[in-house]
Copies of this chain bind each other. A is one copy, B any other.
Amino acid sequence: MKKENYVPTMKDVAKEAGVALGTVSKVVNGLPVGEPYRIRVEEAIKKLNYQVNSYAQGLKASKTYTAALLIPNTQDPFFSSITYHINTALLKRNYRMLLCCTDYDSNLEQEYVIMAQQNKVDGIIGLTYNPGLKIEEQTPFVSIDRSMGAKIPCVASDNFAGGQLAAEKLADLGCKHAAFLRIGSSLSNEPNKRKSGFENGCLARGLSYEMKILNDGDSFEEFEHFLNEHIEDGKLSFDGIFCVTDSVAYSVLKILGKLGQRVPEDVQVIGYDGTRILGDKEYVCSTIVQPVPDIAEMCVELLLQENMMQKPPLVCLPVTYVPGGTTLEPSQEQE
């Protein structure tokens, strides 16, 4: 039996395989060697349970087998889901993941970008709201939900199609006059396309609509004022509402209750994200579901793809609609 603290070295692997040390090094670093040698080395690595020292390897081959994820936090359900799926996509490829919850701290984000530029990590996947982030062209960086320039791939759900789908669904479900409610960063980013898609869908289906757009930091009370202004004789003039996120929808559902409006009988509500209560229970509302596992896979695929030139600048992945009790679905009066 092996001793308790025995840690095999590259030399032990070379001895076991009966090959030169340089051959082991080549195999470990993914450089070409004759097939029979590669097999012998890999068998020796397995037999000895040799663990590649990635730090030493990092210095030699500029590969750390580590990627970093920049995300504002892991408490928002969409962020926690994307973190989980990116983590599992990386682990599946024997990559490790540094997690950095940025809390929107741009210095922290820049620090991690510098780490990538100095080859301390192989690349970065980032969901950032920092327009000043400096990323050199050759730095492996994949952005989620926000375009950072033509040379940096951005992966998002198909926000335009999602907005359009929401409008089409409301029209199909019998709505005549809809509202779009949005709160969020005023920066140009992918989720802003939900609005354009929604407008497009409304126009295509002849669904009239109004919009209420708030900026980050504005109070939700403004939604309440807006909705209240559209109530006459106890009746809301909107019979369908598309909210920019499920989180907004959740708050809007509370406001509607307060204003005496029944959902979905008086007004139907569709959100965006596909958030489930407590992570795995029912949907918060009828919603446009982001394909989070697909977004995660795509981010990791693009990050690890070596040829920068072949990386597409923007990848939009298809969304789906699921009823979640806040719409009047055809087969039922109410979920």
Which residue numbers of A lie inside 8 Å of B, CB to CB?
4-5, 7, 51, 53-56, 58-59, 64, 66, 69, 73-77, 80-81, 83-84, 87-88, 91, 96-101, 103, 108, 114-115, 117-118, 120, 136, 246-247, 250-251, 275, 277-281, 284
Contact = CB atoms under 8 A, between A and B. Distances in A.
Contacts of A108: 91
A96 B87 CA distance: 15
Name which of A4, A75, A275, A277 has the most chain B CB atoms within 10 A of its CB.
Answer: A75
A73 to B, nearest CB: 5
B120 A54 contact: yes
A277 B53 CA distance: 42
7 contacts: A4-B136, A51-B114, A51-B115, A54-B120, A74-B83, A74-B87, A97-B99
Oligomeric state, in copies: 2
**CB-CB nearest 6 A-B residue pairs:** A80-B80, A99-B99, A75-B279, A55-B55, A74-B84, A87-B101
Contact of A81 (B59, B66, B75): B75
Contacts of A120: 53-55
B100 A87 contact: yes
Given A4-B136, A5-B136, 4 more contacts: A51-B114, A74-B74, A87-B100, A98-B98
